[in-house]
Amino acid sequence: MSDKIRIFDTTLRDGEQSPGATMSQDEKVRLAKQLERLGVDIIEAGFPAASPGDFESVRAIAGAVSKCSVAGLARSVPADIERCWEAIKDAEKPRIHVFLATSPLHMQYKLCKEPAQVLQMAKDAVTLARSLCDDVEFSAEDASRSERPFLATVVEAAIEAGATTINIPDTVGYAQPEEFGDLISWLIANVPNSGKAVFSVHCHNDLGLATANTLAALRAGARQAEVTLSGIGERAGNCALEEVVMALNVRQPFFELETGIETEQLYPSCRLLSRIIGMPIPPYKAIVGRNAFAHESGIHQAGMLKNRQTYEIMTPQSIGRSGTDIVLGKHSGRTALTAKLKELGFNLNDEQTATVFEAVKRLADKKKKIFDEDVEALVLEEIFRIPDKYALRTLSVLAGNTGVPPTAAVVMEVDGEEKKLSGFGMGPVDAVFHTISEIVGQKPRLLEYLVSAVTGGTDAQGEVTVRMELAGKNAVGRGSDGDIIVASAKAYLNALNRLAKKEEKREWAVL
């Protein structure tokens, strides 16, 4: 049995199903290219039959990457499978991924079908998919709650029909590690043609066991792990890519398994996802959290000063975190910036690099130290922001305990036309949001407002994330600036621009 584990990343499909994690097509393509740099084997780009937008995104990703296989998900029905093939057929290495529930609960209440009907559907779906594509994956949804004899029968039939990969999902995070590992061993031993397919696992984290279950399955003989960056996904999320990869890496003598992942790209990949979806990485998140390599306890600090291995089982550099704080300043040149951008995973052209360079210079005039996170924030603010229907020009805020209500004076552009207005609010941020809403003629409902420091220090850039809802549509906006009120205005306008973009796409689809 091979000791190489295939990494199947479903951040762009299952991960995007995490509430609030919707991405635009451009953002999906950008993340797919980063996943390619990371070294994943398969990118599950989306569910082409779900919507025209999903179809176009999958097709764009299929044309944007060449080193990875690109998979599209499809239900076990002909229309889904054919739509999936249309989206991925131009990929360098296309894969059709069909799924069908096999547990008694799902068959009775969701599919409303008898086991014999489900078995036939699986055969027909894989046969059709294989007639279109040489690489076909079959998933037995809710496999961990399926009856073993029936599950084995379906798996055998799927392989016989041409499936090259068999996925055994723990769809609702119900399994326990010992139990799940035993299920994989049992299937490999009892399915007569199991040697003709690669066994895969897709574990959810409802009981906090997704990584443990995945690792148990890999030890039992599975050779593909279905994972997401930072573990995002439905409900409590999926198995985290970085956790599985670094467990196999750090404990290689124990597992005797390996991946093709460039571990130095783990942190940049998770950071990019975090900025795209507007959800900060929790500081205590394993591997990539801010505190993963932080030590406050005096006993720990003493041990670290003597030998880092006393309290660190991996180095920050091994996952792509820099060991250096200050990397750029007001006297730094473009060459240094270009090198830093490449280190952070950004491949910018000369014009884009020049734009970031000027932004770095402006920031360096305001603060003493420029950190990696500052550079990332500037790139995403200056280069990858949503095209502006609404743009901030100037902002002035009056606030304090003077007895005068907090006041915001806003000058902005709406479709290229300058608009000016002053307004009041309960506080300075409320005044800014209220005034912008009056200018654009929309009153979205603010669902979430989050402020964090991009780096440490009193001169750190502030990063603001807002989540808003308007006419049944949600959007996340992000903004960063040395002035937290300005950052708030940028984030609010970024969210409004995203809503406007969604409305443009809806109107185009109607036409």
Q: Is residue 294 part of a domain?
A: no
Same domain? 363 vs 487:
no
Structure confidence by residue, pLDDT tens digits, 376-419: 778 877 887 656 789 999 999 999 887 889 999 999 999 889 99
Domain termination residue (choose one: 362, 382, 402): 382
SS3 labels along 160-183: HHCCCEEEEEECCCCCCHHHHHHH
Lowest mean pLDDT among 163-177, 243-257, 260-274, 297-311: 297-311
What single-letter amino acid sits at 241? L
What percent of the chain is helix, strand and coil (3-state, nearest 5)?
A: 50, 20, 30
- The number of domains in the chain is 3
CB distance 276 to 23 below 8 Å: yes
> What is d(CA 179, CA 170) in angstroms, rounded to the nearest whole number?
11
Q: How confident is the model at residue 325 (pLDDT cuts 50, 70, 90)?
A: very low
Residue 327, pLDDT above cutoff 80: no
Query: With contact defined as beta carbons under 8 Å apart, do 361 and 326 qualify?
Result: no
**Token couple for 262:** 């460039």
Same domain, 367 and 245: no
Same domain as 326, residue 266: no
Choosing from 343, 365, 382, the residue where a domain stops is: 382
Both 120 and 64 in one domain: the answer is yes
The predicted structure's pLDDT at residue 342: 81
pLDDT at 369: 66
Residue range 124-133: mean pLDDT, rounded: 98
The mean per-residue pLDDT over the stretch 52-64 comes to 96
| Domain annotation covers residue 81 | yes
As a whole number of angstroms, the distance between CA 278 and CA 8 comes to 24
CA distances from 304 to 246, 290, 301, 321, 325 (A): 21, 17, 5, 18, 18
> 405 and 367: one domain?
no
252 or 388, higher pLDDT: 252
Cα–Cα dist 58/61, whole Å: 5
Q: Is the pLDDT of residue 73 over 90?
A: yes
Residue 474: per-residue pLDDT: 83
Do residues 348 and 421 both lie within one domain? no
> Where is average pLDDT lowest: 127-141, 290-304, 472-486?
290-304
Band of residue 256 on the pLDDT scale cut at 50, 70, 90 = very high
pLDDT at residue 100 in the model: 98
**Of 332, 363, 382, which residue sits at a domain end?**
382
442-455 tens-digit pLDDT:
999 999 998 988 77
Tokens in use for 406? 């907090």
Residues 371 and 418 in one domain: no
| Spatial distance between the Cα atoms of 140 and 291, rounded to a whole number of angstroms | 38
Q: Tell me which residue of 455, 502, 501, 494 sits closest to 477, measured CA to CA.
A: 494
With a pLDDT cut of 90, the percent of the chain lying above it is: 66
Query: Does residue 295 lie within any of the structural domains?
Result: no
pLDDT on residue 510: 38
Proportion of the chain above pLDDT 70, given as a percent = 93
Same domain, 371 and 414: no
Indicate if 57 and 193 belong to the same structural domain: yes
- Give the pLDDT of residue 363: 82
- Checking if the pLDDT of 506 tops 70, the result is no
Average pLDDT, the chain: 90
Contact 275, 376 (CB under 8 A): yes
Tokens coding 354: 């020049």
Does 402 lie in the same domain as 345?
no
pLDDT in tens, 333-392: 788 788 788 877 788 889 999 998 888 888 888 766 677 777 877 887 788 765 678 999
Q: What is the CATH number of the domain that holds 176?
A: 3.20.20.70
pLDDT in tens, 153-211: 999 999 999 999 999 999 999 999 999 999 999 999 999 999 999 999 999 999 999 99
Residues 148 and 246 in one domain: yes
Most confidently modeled of 181-190, 282-291, 306-315, 327-336?
181-190
When pLDDT is averaged across residues 15-29 and rounded to a whole number, the result is 87
Q: Decide: pTM greater than 0.85.
A: no
Amino acid at 5: I
Q: Which structural domain, as residue segments, surrounds residue 346? A: 322-382
Same domain, 126 and 218: yes
